[in-house]
Amino acid sequence: MRTTTVLLGLLALAVSLVANNSTAVQAHVVLTQSGTNYAYSLFNDEAAGSQSYLNTFYLSVNAPISAISSPPGWSFSTDHFTYVNWFSTDGVMPYPNDIAPGTSASGFAIQSPIQGSESFDCVISSWDHSLTNSGPANASLVSAPSVFGNSLGVSPTLTNVNYSAANTLQFTLLGVPSFNYTIQSSTNLTDWTSQVTNSAPFSFADPNANAIIPLMRFYRSMLFPDASSLPFLGD
């Protein structure tokens, strides 16, 4: 029986492979993207007769994500923020769901509320079917969701400012989806009062500001770090 573990020390592994590329398994990954859905396919480029079968695909991300599918016979682990690790669930020979030389597998799919992306490290690992132990790996770069590739960035934007039918001032806060932001108001640009904290995007109506009773008011917004944003802000 074999066990599959999450690939820790990914950067060290990538550096090792670059320094000694002759030991890397011949493989590559292809991305098919539709909006914020990312679907990856793995290709085993080893020559016929090779005993290196692909059995693990580690993908780095930098955004809130959900893993939405895996190929048959594969599963995954993820922290929903920084990585997804897909692995073949075969426990004993002949490991029928490993990706054989000259073949491919698709269905490694994730979804994110983030519109932007960047190139991140990914590692494809193999299993030697003749020696029945872990084989060489292949490190490369592939596009994946990223908060820093988001067109809005991390900073919030206030937009769609207007008065409602009840003459109440209202507007929309745009930012990184699922991240929390606070809206504050002031009448003198010195003293600020927090009005609401919510996850972006959201709409805000200020009952103290209306078109009937004019009053000079100012607004600002800022990221309010929480569990969803701290993994990225700490990078």
Identify the pLDDT of residue 51: 96
Kindly state the average pLDDT of the residues 34-44. 96
Question: Which tens digits make up the pLDDT trace of 149-201?
Answer: 655 556 778 888 888 777 788 899 887 777 889 999 888 878 889 999 998 88
- For residue 235, pLDDT over 80 is answered with no
Q: How confident is the model at residue 232 (pLDDT cuts 50, 70, 90)?
A: low
CB 207 within 8 A of CB 168: yes
Q: How far apart are CA 29 and CA 55, in angstroms?
A: 13
- The pLDDT of residue 20 is above 60: no
Q: Which of 66-75, 92-101, 170-179, 218-227 has the lowest mean pLDDT?
A: 218-227
Q: How many Å apart are CA 203 and CA 183, to the nearest integer?
A: 10
Return the higher-pLDDT residue of 224 and 4. Answer: 224
Q: Name the residue with higher pLDDT: 203 or 216.
A: 203
What pLDDT was estimated at residue 231? 54
**Mean pLDDT confidence for 52-67:** 92
The answer to whether 53 and 95 have CB atoms below 8 angstroms apart is yes
pLDDT value at 11 more than 50? no
Average pLDDT over residues 2-23: 44
Contact 27, 137 (CB under 8 A): no
Q: How confident is the model at residue 5 (pLDDT cuts 50, 70, 90)?
A: very low
The 3-state secondary structure of the chain, one letter per residue: CCCCCCCCCHHHHHHHHHHCHHHCCCEEEEEEEECCEEEEEEEECCCCCCCEEEEEEEEECECCCEEEECCCCEEEEECCCCEEEEEECCCCCCCCCCECCCCEEEEEEEECCCCCEEEEEEEEEEEECCCCEEEEEEEEEEEEEEHHHCCCCCCCEEEEEEECCCCEEEEEEECCCCCEEEEEEECCCCCCEEEEEEECCEEEEEEEEECCCCCCCEEEEEECCCCCCHHHHCC
Which stretch, 97-111, 158-172, 202-216, has highest mean pLDDT? 97-111
- Is 76 a residue whose pLDDT tops 90? yes
Whole-angstrom distance, CA of residue 162 vs CA of residue 122: 46
**Would you say 39 and 142 are in contact if contact means Cβ atoms under 8 Å apart?**
no
What pLDDT is recorded for position 152?
53
Domains and CATH numbers, the chain: 10-149 (2.60.40.290), 157-233 (2.60.40.10)
Query: Among 102-111, 143-152, 199-208, 224-233, which is the least confidently predicted range?
Result: 224-233
Can you tell me the mean pLDDT for 205-214? Answer: 68
| Residues 143/32, Cβ–Cβ less than 8 Å | no
